Amino acid sequence: METTLIILKPDAVQRRLVGTIIGRFEQKGLQVVGMKLMKISPDLAARHYQDHSSKPFYPALVKFMTSQPVVVMALSGVGAIAICRNLMGATFGSKAAAGTIRGDYGISNSFNLVHGSDGPEAAQRELGLFFSPGEIHSYPMAGDTWVYDASSGKPE
Ligand code: IDP
Ligand code: MG
């Protein structure tokens, strides 16, 4: 089981795509274990995007991400990090494949609707930035007996 940080960026909220995008993750079989609407502070944006601080697009990225509220989610599932990245599609909306969230709903290369952690260390770090431990809930999903095949003893 993995948990990943997903952010529905300001463009997703402003374009009323929150329900649609959450639906894409839910329909895949991922479990929402944390979720809130919030405005990201400049300090939090800087910590979240610390690896990009020297990139030319960094100032615009921080301005965008702090401009309006976002929805942050913690999503769990077997292989959730890579599964979410695949559902999101390539970074640039102009290039993302049809069938992905970025490919289906956006054109912009910067306003690309959704953030997802890119690996286990990033997921752990980013979840810690956006959620306190009490805001992430571990709970059984009745439907998981049909999302995963547990006949071998572990969910597959
Ligand atoms: P990712 O979100 O697919 O992981 P990253 O390379 O980590 O992509 O970039 C973080 C975010 O910065 C992107 O989602 C996008 O909003 C923005 N970004 C990345 N590259 C560019 C660019 O070349 N121009 C403008 N914005 C960019
Ligand atoms: Mg990234």
The answer to whether residue 59 sits within a structural domain is: no
Summary mean pLDDT of the chain = 98
The answer to whether residue 89 sits within a structural domain is: yes
Distance 91 CA to ligand 1 centre (A): 6
Query: What pLDDT sits at residue 117?
Result: 98
Taking only the tens place, the pLDDT of each residue in 38-94 is 999 999 999 999 999 999 999 999 999 999 999 999 999 999 999 999 999 999 999
Residue 48 annotated in active site: no
- Ion ligand 2: residues, CB within 5 A, are 118
Counting the structural domains of the chain, the total is 1
The answer to whether residue 47 sits within a structural domain is: no
Query: What pLDDT sits at residue 19?
Result: 98
Q: Domain span at residue 125? A: 2-38+66-137
Q: Please return the burial class of 124, using the count of CB atoms within 10 Å of its CB with bins 0-12, 13-18 and 19+.
A: middle
User: pLDDT tier at 9 (50, 70, 90 boundaries)?
Assistant: very high
User: pLDDT tier at 122 (50, 70, 90 boundaries)?
Assistant: very high
The answer to whether residue 50 sits within a structural domain is: no
The answer to whether residue 56 sits within a structural domain is: no
The answer to whether residue 60 sits within a structural domain is: no
Distance 25 CA to ligand 1 centre (A): 20
Average pLDDT over residues 128-136: 97
The Cα 19–Cα 112 span in angstroms is 16
Query: What pLDDT sits at residue 23?
Result: 98
Ligand 1 probe mutation, 8, 53, 55, 112, most atoms within 8 A of CB = 112
Distance 55 CA to ligand 2 centre (A): 12
Long-range CB contacts for residues 54-57, cutoff 8 Å, separation at least 24? 57/110
The answer to whether residue 44 sits within a structural domain is: no
In the block, tokens 């374009």 appear at: 15
